[in-house]
Amino acid sequence: MQVVFIEWAFGFLLATLGLFVPIILIASLGGKTRRLAIALIVGSNVMGCIVAALCFWRETTVRLDFSAFSPFPLALGIDRLSAFFLLLICTVAVPVAIFSIEYFDLHYAEKRRNWVWTFFSLFLASMILVVTASTGFAFLIGWELMTLLTAGLILMEGDSTERRHSVFLYLLMMHAGAAAVIGSFLLFLPFSHGLDFASLRSAGSVMPQGIRTMVFLLAFLGFGAKAGMIPLHIWLPRAHPIAPSPVSALMSGVMLKTAVYGFVRFVFDFLGGGPSWWSGYVVLAVGAVTGLLGILYAIAENDLKRLLAYSSVENIGIIFLGLGVSLVLLAHQAPLWAGLALVGALLHAFNHALFKSLLFLGAGAISDSTHTVNLEDLGGLQRRMPVTGLSLLVACCSIAGLPLFNGFVGEWIIFRSLLAGSVLSDTRAQIVLPLTVGILALIGGLAAACFVKVFGVAFLGRPRSAAAEDAQEAPPAMRVGLSLLAAACLGIGIFPGLFLRPLVSLVQTLVPGAGVPLETVSIARILPIAAAIVLGAAMAAGLLKRRERIARTWACGLPGLTTRMQYTSTVFSKPIRFVFSSVYKPNRKVDRLPPDQPYFPASVTYRSVRTTSYEKSIYRPFVELFLSAARGLRRMQTGNIQVYLLYIFLTLVLLLAFLRFQK
Amino acid sequence: MKIALNILQAILIILGAPLVRGIVARCKAFLQRRQGASIWRPYYDLAKLFRKEDLVPPTASAVFRVVPFILFATTICAVAFVPLLQPAALLASHGDFFLFVYLLAIGRFFLSLGAFDGGSAFGGMGASREALISCLAEAPFLLSFVAIAILASHADIAGMVSWTLQQNFFNVSAVHILAFTSLGMVVIAETGRMPVDNPTTHLELTMIHEAMILEYSGTRLALIEWASAIKLHAMLALLAALFFPWGMASGASVGFVALSLPLYCAKIGLLIILLAVIESGMAKLRMYLVPDFLGVASAVSVLAVIFTFLAKR
């Protein structure tokens, strides 16, 4: 009974998002039908949440087979891992869709809105397809659609040369990644009956070591490119900020997680762990570097959306660090701890989806009301946009990893699994894993500094521009979207137990012998108590009698303070940029005008540009190599038909010779 | 009885915190050959501040107004992790040192935000400097705990303290010395003492913590001052508990407590004198030398973790 209901509901979800909504929207141009379509999107995603929750909390597996209607095996299924990621997509999609109602109305002309919503709906459907696919073909269709639809959504926002260049880079990197993913699927083929996940799983354990290593490396490359691992991240800070804010929210919050899903599916589910002892260390090291560099780049940014994009790179780094720890522990036969690390990584993926989409939506609300996302032009927004400000404060606390907010729980679990490295018998792990605590702590500290800057500069103090001075609170539906996400962040932050229990069961299906780690129980018990103590103490202190008077800020006895005397975003990050200057290698330039009066200049301009560039140092040599190879191949293309006939003849001879000598 | 003792030690930390501050100030005065204020001075200051009215800048939002309460509340919550008279505390057996460190981070995060809300240059300056120091201090802070946790094979603070309690005092390993050094340096940086920050200065070029709280007054300032005193006391108590737990009450009888309380006073007194000597003996570091100071702390803590591996064999 229940299974039938879930099957129907899931089918309805896919059909609505992928079929009904686009048909309704394309067929009509009126506002009323659009409202119906939006209601369908929100409603079906709520239904998706229920379906995912049912499959995630209770062990229910669902399978839908469409192979009869397609030329290749096309089947969908929800097991616990899929249910977890389906829950992630639908939970974020509901508030984002509610937020978008007013956002798209404000940003697009009547005619274009229907197209934006069509793409939005199809984009959601493609992500659902990716995480619920149970055959390689279904997975790859969703994977490809996801990329193309977001490229469409980015181009719908505007059409400049720079934007096209960024979209081209995005598509290029995504397809390179997809090629690696396809490659790792194909490597399974000689050992499995087909590309459905069940036979891939059984093939994964019988494949020779070399093939397993190849599959692992290709999956790491392919999904790493999609997730934005350094140095494959260069598309991310370019493509994410230029999309419309709700789409940025889905791209950063949700789409990056499909890559995490893919990696977990391949490495933990199909291969049953890394192919050899070093694989975990590789993932751990790349994750640590990505996390550290990502947050260092983020803190130097002044454009809020670019900053958030870099911070996504950082969080992906933390997630992969957790996955790496899990692989290391798995390789050393410590399944209990490996399971703990995997729980931490997956939980952090979910948490990041919540707070990062909240932050991007908040950036959308800010740009809506002030028409800028440059931190240097913002300030004092908390008094003008109290609800937006409060939700963003929750998001900033969460992403900074503070306890009682959700970001802390995942990081804490990863910390504890790192500590477990000291009980292993292997010397390498005994030293590397506990020391990684230091790296994760540094990343966490920098993230806290970064988001003090974001909230402090944008929302507190005096407005730095006329636009910020006149900012208005976001319209009601946007506020609903923001508050829903903020409530979810606080909910998981204070009561993680509800979520951790099914997550532990999920991990038990992926890591044999994982068991229930005591840590997940203890954190679930302590956080509500800590929250109660903090709340009680704050309320008790709040009862103290006090009188309040508004008085001017201390200005060293000068007549008054101006906006220009406030600390800016650039100068806030200056000490950190100074200490880590080897990462940025900044090129500073100070221009004083007029030049003949250096001590009494009329105007001073200062510029500081990061000179380290992945494009120049890593990608350029590859491009050069590729181009010179292409130039070499051009010599073969003479344009003479006899030569081409000769090529055909030679190929034939070679093939015949090959067949003859093969026996 | 055990719970009563837990509550008693939490109250001791909270109420004794201004006294610790007063004694540090008095010791410094003695070392600098000054008369110095009474050791009860911080209590009078707090009482006076609690009676005064709060001045709030015109730019301030609700964030400015709630920051002192959040800071105070999270510091109180962190106190519940610190063992004082017995190797246990209210939350010490469930929560671990990560939670302790990050609870203190909440207060710091919000204090930096409150600093921004005044709309002056000083607040942002203090917040920016605090951000640098705290992000660099986080790694050695956690790593020195990690070293002890590995030796004790416990991550909860109560477990770590009881393990050390069972060891012979003359058997302390290099790990303890290294971890104590780095944790001590972190305590100096985190509580804003010399040579990292001067708690008595209001000079623009040097102040960090004082710059952040410049706009606070009255009840709110009292709460912030009290919270930072509690933080100092809790950190010193934690140092004493982790590295010199000998003398803690192993049972919950009145006799044990009567013995452990004076012993605790002696231990914390020694730490206070050590702090006063360091503070008086060193000049304040230039802002950009602070990363080097914390770099040394990080290196020492990394060594501590590596040495746990040798100590285990």
| Alpha carbons B107 and B113: distance in angstroms, whole number | 10
pLDDT given at position A30: 66
Task: Please report residues of A whose CB lies closer than 8 A to that of B126.
Answer: none
Which tens digits make up the pLDDT trace of A283-342? Answer: 999 999 999 999 999 999 999 999 999 999 999 999 999 999 999 999 988 889 999 999
| Alpha carbons B137 and B149: distance in angstroms, whole number | 19
Contacts of A307 (CB under 8 A, 6+ apart): A298, A299, A301, A375, A450, A454
Residues A648, A596 within the same domain:
no
Contacts of A653 (CB under 8 A, 6+ apart): none
Q: Closest approach of chain B CAs to the CA of A135, in angstroms?
A: 42
**Is A385 within the bounds of a domain?**
yes
| Pair of tokens at residue B272 | 């206070």
The answer to whether the CB atoms of B53 and A547 lie below 8 A apart is yes
* Ranges of each domain in chain B: 2-312
Which tens digits make up the pLDDT trace of A252-286? Answer: 999 999 999 999 999 999 988 888 889 999 999 99
**Is A47 within the bounds of a domain?**
no
Would you tell me which residues 459-478 of chain A have a C-beta closer than 8 angstroms to some C-beta of chain B? 459-462
Contact status, residue B144 vs residue B240, Cβ threshold 8 Å: no
- Give whole-number Cα distances, B92 to A149, A183, A417, A592, in Å: 51, 51, 19, 58
Residues A483, A593 within the same domain:
no
Q: Indicate if the pLDDT at residue A541 is higher than 80.
A: yes
Would you tell me which residues 225-284 of chain B have a C-beta closer than 8 angstroms to some C-beta of chain A? none
Q: In this structure, how many other beta carbons lie within 10 angstroms of the beta carbon of residue B110?
A: 22
Residues A481, A406 within the same domain:
yes
| Alpha carbons B289 and B197: distance in angstroms, whole number | 12
The answer to whether the CB atoms of B70 and A538 lie below 8 A apart is yes
Would you tell me which residues 528-567 of chain A have a C-beta closer than 8 angstroms to some C-beta of chain B? 529-530, 533-538, 541-542, 544-555, 561, 565-567
φ and ψ at residue A559, rounded to 5 degrees: -60, -35
The answer to whether the CB atoms of A549 and B134 lie below 8 A apart is no
The answer to whether the CB atoms of B215 and A412 lie below 8 A apart is no
- Give whole-number Cα distances, A503 to A201, A345, A500, B132, in Å: 21, 11, 5, 36
Q: Indicate if the pLDDT at residue B88 is higher than 90.
A: no
Q: Closest approach of chain A CAs to the CA of B188, in angstroms?
A: 18
Question: B70 and chain A: CB distance < 8 Å anywhere?
Answer: yes
Single-letter amino acid, residue A84: F
Question: A84 and chain B: CB distance < 8 Å anywhere?
Answer: no
By CB atoms closer than 10 A (0-12, 13-18, 19+), residue B62 is middle
**Is A122 within the bounds of a domain?**
no
Residues A344, A474 within the same domain:
yes
Q: Give the E-state strand segments of A465-573 in sequence order.
A: 548-550
Task: Please report residues of A whose CB lies closer than 8 A to that of B61.
Answer: 380, 382-383, 386, 389, 459-460
What integer is the mean pLDDT of A66-87?
88
Residue that is written with structure tokens 């009980």 in the block:
A423
| Alpha carbons A258 and A150: distance in angstroms, whole number | 14
Residues A589, A492 within the same domain:
no
Residues A312, A454 within the same domain:
yes
The three-point CA angle B302-B308-B313 to 5° equals 150
Q: Indicate if the pLDDT at residue B255 is higher than 90.
A: no
Would you tell me which residues 31-50 of chain B have a C-beta closer than 8 angstroms to some C-beta of chain A? 50
Residue in chain B nearest A398 by alpha carbon: B106
Q: Closest approach of chain A CAs to the CA of B63, in angstroms?
A: 8
Residues A530, A627 within the same domain:
no
**Is A506 within the bounds of a domain?**
yes
Q: Please give the mean pLDDT across all residues of chain B.
A: 89
Q: In this structure, how many other beta carbons lie within 10 angstroms of the beta carbon of residue B162?
A: 21
Least Cα distance to A314 among A336, A287, A339 occurs for A287
Question: A431 and chain B: CB distance < 8 Å anywhere?
Answer: yes
Question: Between residues B15 and A600, which one has the greater pLDDT?
Answer: B15
Contact status, residue A472 vs residue A367, Cβ threshold 8 Å: no
Q: Closest approach of chain A CAs to the CA of B235, in angstroms?
A: 19
φ and ψ at residue A542, rounded to 5 degrees: -70, -20
Which residues are bridge partners to A76 per DSSP?
A: A64, A133
Question: A575 and chain B: CB distance < 8 Å anywhere?
Answer: yes
Task: Please report residues of B whose CB lies closer than 8 A to that of A457.
Answer: 116
With b meaning 16 or more CB within 10 Å and e meaning fewer, what string describes B205-217?
A: ebbbbbbbbbbbb
The answer to whether the CB atoms of A546 and B124 lie below 8 A apart is no
The answer to whether the CB atoms of A438 and B301 lie below 8 A apart is yes
Q: Closest approach of chain B CAs to the CA of A131, in angstroms?
A: 34
Q: Which of A438, A537, A551 sits opposite B56 (nearest CB)?
A: A551
Q: In this structure, how many other beta carbons lie within 10 angstroms of the beta carbon of residue A595?
A: 8
Cis peptide before B195 (omega within 30 of 0): yes
Q: Closest approach of chain A CAs to the CA of B312, in angstroms?
A: 10
Residues A463, A599 within the same domain:
no
Which residues are bridge partners to A62 per DSSP?
A: A78
Contact status, residue B201 vs residue B207, Cβ threshold 8 Å: yes
The distance of Cα A239 from the centroid of its chain, to the nearest Å, equals: 13
Q: Closest approach of chain A CAs to the CA of B139, in angstroms?
A: 4
Q: Closest approach of chain A CAs to the CA of B65, in angstroms?
A: 10
Residue by residue, what is the 3-state secondary structure of chain B? CHHHHHHHHHHHHHHHHHHHHHHHHHHHHHHCCCCCCCCCHHHHHHHHHHHCCEEECCCCCHHHHHHHHHHHHHHHHHHCCCCCCCCCCCCCCCCEHHHHHHHHHHHHHHHHHHHHHCCCHHHHHHHHHHHHHHHHHHHHHHHHHHHHHHHHCCCEHHHHHHHHHHCCHHHCCHHHHHHHHHHHHHHHHHCCCCCCCCCCCCCCCCCCHHHHCCCCCHHHHHHHHHHHHHHHHHHHHHHHHHHCCCCCCCCCCHHHHHHHHHHHHHHHHHHHHHHHHHHHHCCCCCHHHHHHHHHHHHHHHHHHHHHHHHHHC
**Is A210 within the bounds of a domain?**
no
| Alpha carbons A232 and A216: distance in angstroms, whole number | 17
Question: A142 and chain B: CB distance < 8 Å anywhere?
Answer: no
What percent of chain B has a predicted confidence (pLDDT) above 70?
98
Residues A414, A507 within the same domain:
yes
**Is A153 within the bounds of a domain?**
no
Mutation for testing the B interface, residue in A375, A382, A385, A392 having most B CBs under 10 Å: A382
Task: Please report residues of B whose CB lies closer than 8 A to that of A453.
Answer: 131
Which tens digits make up the pLDDT trace of A336-366? Answer: 999 999 999 999 999 999 999 999 999 999 9
φ and ψ at residue A133, rounded to 5 degrees: -60, 140
| Alpha carbons B66 and A538: distance in angstroms, whole number | 9
What integer is the mean pLDDT of B289-293?
92
- Give whole-number Cα distances, A599 to A591, A608, B16, B79, in Å: 12, 21, 54, 53
**Is A102 within the bounds of a domain?**
no
Task: Please report residues of A whose CB lies closer than 8 A to that of B108.
Answer: 448
Q: Closest approach of chain B CAs to the CA of A347, in angstroms?
A: 17
Mutation for testing the B interface, residue in A295, A402, A414 having most B CBs under 10 Å: A402
| Pair of tokens at residue A464 | 């730095």
The answer to whether the CB atoms of A529 and B94 lie below 8 A apart is yes
| Alpha carbons B90 and B4: distance in angstroms, whole number | 10
* Residue A481, domain extent: 276-534+567-579
| Alpha carbons B74 and B103: distance in angstroms, whole number | 6
Specify the number of domains making up chain A. 3
Q: B313 falls in which pLDDT band (50, 70, 90)?
A: low
Which tens digits make up the pLDDT trace of A156-197? Answer: 888 889 999 999 999 999 999 999 999 999 998 888 888 888
Question: B288 and chain A: CB distance < 8 Å anywhere?
Answer: yes
Cis peptide before B140 (omega within 30 of 0): no
Q: Which of B61, B77, B102 sits opposite A534 (nearest CB)?
A: B77
Task: Please report residues of B whose CB lies closer than 8 A to that of A452.
Answer: 109, 112-113, 116, 127, 131
DSSP state letter for A514: -
- Give whole-number Cα distances, A557 to A346, A552, A562, A646, B183, in Å: 54, 11, 14, 91, 41
| Alpha carbons A433 and A417: distance in angstroms, whole number | 9
Residues A594, A465 within the same domain:
no
Which tens digits make up the pLDDT trace of A378-411? Answer: 988 999 999 999 999 999 999 999 999 999 999 9
What percent of chain B has a predicted confidence (pLDDT) above 90?
54
Contact status, residue B98 vs residue B142, Cβ threshold 8 Å: yes
Q: B252 falls in which pLDDT band (50, 70, 90)?
A: low
Task: Please report residues of B whose CB lies closer than 8 A to that of A441.
Answer: 138-139, 141-143
| Pair of tokens at residue A61 | 């597996």
Q: In this structure, how many other beta carbons lie within 10 angstroms of the beta carbon of residue A491?
A: 14
Which tens digits make up the pLDDT trace of A609-659? Answer: 777 778 888 888 888 999 999 999 888 888 888 999 999 999 999 999 999
What integer is the mean pLDDT of B84-92?
82
| Alpha carbons B136 and A441: distance in angstroms, whole number | 9
Would you tell me which residues 88-127 of chain B have a C-beta closer than 8 angstroms to some C-beta of chain A? 91, 94-96, 98-99, 102-103, 105-106, 108-109, 112-113, 115-125, 127
Single-letter amino acid, residue A482: L
Q: Closest approach of chain A CAs to the CA of B313, in angstroms?
A: 11
With b meaning 16 or more CB within 10 Å and e meaning fewer, what string describes A359-381?
A: bbbbbbbbbbbbebbbbebbbbb
Residues A634, A499 within the same domain:
no
| Alpha carbons B106 and B125: distance in angstroms, whole number | 19
Residues A425, A281 within the same domain:
yes
Question: A490 and chain B: CB distance < 8 Å anywhere?
Answer: no
The three-point CA angle A568-A317-A505 to 5° equals 125
By CB atoms closer than 10 A (0-12, 13-18, 19+), residue A624 is exposed
Which tens digits make up the pLDDT trace of A430-466? Answer: 889 999 999 999 999 999 999 999 999 999 988 988 8
Which residues are bridge partners to A49 per DSSP?
A: none
